[in-house]
Amino acid sequence: MSRTVYFPHADQTATFPDSLSDEDFQDAAKNLGKKLDKHPRAILDKVFKEYKGLAKNFSHENTKVVFSDKDRAKRAPGHLEYWPPDEEGSKELPRPKGYDGKHVLEIYDENLQNNPEQLRGAIVGDLLHGMRADPNYESMRQEFTQNYKPNVKKFVDNLKMTRFKNDRPDAVDDMYIRGMLSPAEEQGEFKTEQKERYSPQQMQTLNKMGTYIKTGEVPQEQDTGLKPPID
C-alpha cells in the first residue's frame, strides 16, 4: 500500500510508502512540496497570482517555462528567451520542440534555473513582450513610445536600425519598458538613470502600466510619481 499526494502548484504527483508513520509522511510531503517550489510551473503559478494583468493574458495552458539543455544554452544570445506562439526561430536556434502555439520562456542561465526568486522577476519582465495582444496594455505602450526624450528617441531609433534590425525592432521599446517595470531589473541602469532615460510623460505611463500589470485594472487617474508600483 502507498499514499499519493498531488502538488497543484507544480502539477506533480508523488507516492509515499504506507510504512511511513503519519508524522514521517507529513514531513516527507512537506519537504517535497518545498523542493517543488523551484519547479518552473510553481514559479509561473506564483507570477500569475501576484500579477493579475499578466494572468489575464497568460495561463498554464498557453504559457510554458522551459529549462534549456547546455547545448542550446551555448547557442543562445542571452540568459533567457521569450518565444511568441508563432515564432519559429533560426536554423542555429529553432523554437523549442513540443510547444507550438504557446508562449514559451526558455531559460538558458543555470543561475536563473536554480534561483526561484530571480527567475520569477525575469519571467515577469520577459512576459511583457507578449502583452501587446492586450488592448489596454498596448494602448499604454503606444503612449509610452510616443513620448521619448528627443535624444533618447534618436538613440532608440538607431538601435532599431542597427543592432535590432534583423531581430525584433520593437524589442528596443520593450527593453525600456522592462527596465522600469521588471522586478529583475531592480538595480539596473534604467532605474538608476531614470531621469536621464525617461520623460515625465513616460514615467506617468509606466506607473499606469505597472498598476495594470499588478492589478489587471486600468488606473482611472494618472500617478505623477517616479516609481512604478511593481516590486
Q: How much is the mean pLDDT over the chain?
A: 87
pLDDT digits (tens, 9 = 90+) for 155-180: 999 998 898 877 777 889 999 999 89
Give the pLDDT mean for 116-141.
Answer: 93
223 three-class SS:
coil
What does the pLDDT read at residue 224?
44
- Kindly tell me if the per-residue pLDDT of 139 is higher than 90: yes
Per-domain boundaries in the chain: 2-38, 40-129, 134-215
Cα 22 from chain centroid?
A: 39
Q: In which band, very low, low, confident or very high, does the pLDDT at 229 lie, cut at 50, 70 and 90?
A: very low
E strand or H helix at 2 = strand 2-7
Residue 192 has pLDDT above 90, yes or no: no
pLDDT at position 171 is: 86
Find the helix or strand (DSSP H, E) in which 16 lies: strand 12-17
Instruction: Write the DSSP assignment of 31-79 as a string of letters.
Output: HHHHHGGGSHHHHHHHHHHH-HHHHTT--TTTEEEEEPPHHHHHH-SSS
Residues whose CB is less than 8 angstroms from the CB of residue 188 and which lie 6 or more positions away in sequence, other chains included: 179
Alpha carbons 84 and 111: distance in angstroms, whole number: 24
Instruction: Supply the pLDDT for residue 23.
Output: 85
Confidence of residue 186 (pLDDT cuts 50, 70, 90): low
pLDDT in tens, 211-228: 999 999 988 765 544 445
pLDDT at residue 185, as a whole number? 61
Residue 188, pLDDT above cutoff 90: no
Q: Which three cell numbers stand for residue 32?
A: 517535497
Which residues is 83 bridged to in the sheet? 104
- Within 13 Å, how many C-alpha atoms sit on residue 61's CB side? 3
Higher pLDDT, 192 or 208: 208
Give the pLDDT mean for 136-163: 94
pLDDT grade for 1, boundaries at 50, 70 and 90: low
Give the pLDDT score at 225. 46
> Band of the pLDDT at 138, cuts 50, 70, 90?
very high
